[in-house]
Structure 1
Amino acid sequence: MSTVRLRRLHADHQKLVEFVMRHPRLRLIQTQGDPPELYQLEYCINSLRQTDEGLVPSKSHIAEIALPRDYPRTPPQCRMLTPIFHPNIAPHAICIGDHWAAGEPLWSMVARIGEMIAYQSYNTKSPLNGEAARWVEKNLERLPLDPVSMMVDEPAAAAALSPGAVAIPVVAPVLVSRTTVPATPAPASPASAVARPAAVPPAVVPPAVAPPAAVATPAAITVACPQCHARYRVPAANVGKRACCKQCQTVFQISATE
């Protein structure tokens, strides 16, 4: 084994283990080799599988990733060990795209498979499963089946925000000064006069400010790569931003009219 390949395998293994440990929906089942050249992982992601009775929900999926002898010049060989219904997944293979880049780390490939399982990524133009591709075209409004983010670097607080939530501004308290009104002196009595305390007006309470109503916005939209026509579900807030297609690496601008 060459030194370059050995270093790459060690680096892939270290970063993949860290990625799996930080992602709550992933579990590394087993590996083979030292450094590993075969991985089996479990994805806990909402998706579909096909049975004799029709399509049923499935939440646990096992994928196998094998690194060939000439990896990373050639892409990993990926397949599902559990049944799944997806346009780009067949019993013998997972279509990871024709444009494999040798510099792509293994953890990124694992994340891409998770996005496919969640129906965040799919290509209905050149499918491995034609029936699944037709199902996607008829059920775009139901996608993705799972909004899970495969990126572990996103802040948890941002992920907890519901779509369309509007932040309520904090209103600074109003300081009200108290004015002392001098008391009218009482007539002096033969005995020693006792001074009465000055009257203090009640504090002025500012009126309550009603929070602005939440603005209803679509949670996600479907966009398509202009080069390979791969479809993705992205947050509606990303309209106008640039995106990179995971299939062919084409950079394009997200439009609300896709």
Structure 2
Amino acid sequence: MTTPTASDPNKRFAILEKRIKFLEQTLAAEQRKTAEMQKVIAVYSNDLEQTLDIYDKAFEQAAKGYEPIIQRALILGKPADGGEGKPASRPVVVDKKGQVLKAGEPGSEQPFMDSVVAIMDDLPKVLAAVALIISLFTGGTSIVSLVKSSFAHSQAIEAKAEAGDAKVNAVEAKKDAETAKQGAGVALEAAGAAQTDAAEAKINSEAAKEQSASAAQQASEAQKDAAAAKAEAEAATNAANDATDQMMNNQKGP
């Protein structure tokens, strides 16, 4: 029967250390990926905010250009107070900025043709706003790039979430590896204690073997002594028998 050794626990402990090192490397790689993804998300967020600001300004400018035209068109298209769809008897009244005023408000009266001319004067502004919007849709910053940026932003957020999950899994795996490492250390200590006990048992067995050999030698010597004593006793018995026979023969006489 062979004596137990700690070679197997040592091998297991070495394998666990390699696994722990691999998990630590994996965790470091995931952390680097997470940092890179955060940079990408920051870039996409900045681009998205800038793009939305451009669109807000463009639509705001376009709305400002359309507002006076719509107001004038609504005023000119209203029927007369008397109904029946007749044009209003009161000329359109506007202020210095060209804003249409309600009846009774102070301002300069503007005939119908002047209102039409004012509308035509505002058309270049409106067309410029429309051209700006068209350039946004067809130029470098287009709606397609906005959609792509939004989609990439969503993908980056999902990737960040996945990287976070991977980081959590790696941390849990590291904890499990640390627990396994501690268990391996306990097993290694137990194996060392078992090896010590086995060595002590072997020493005790060797001592018992020596004691058994000594006892066997002593028994052999005792057996020899007993055989010698038996021989001496037999010789004494024979001598006594011979002496008795001789004495009896002497008593009988010739």
TM-score class, shorter-chain normalisation, is: under 0.3
Richer in helix (by share): 2
- Structure number with greater Rg is 2
Scaled by the length of structure 1, what TM-score is found?
0.20
Richer in strand (by share): 1
Which protein has greater RCO, CA pairs closer than 8 Å, 6+ apart? 2
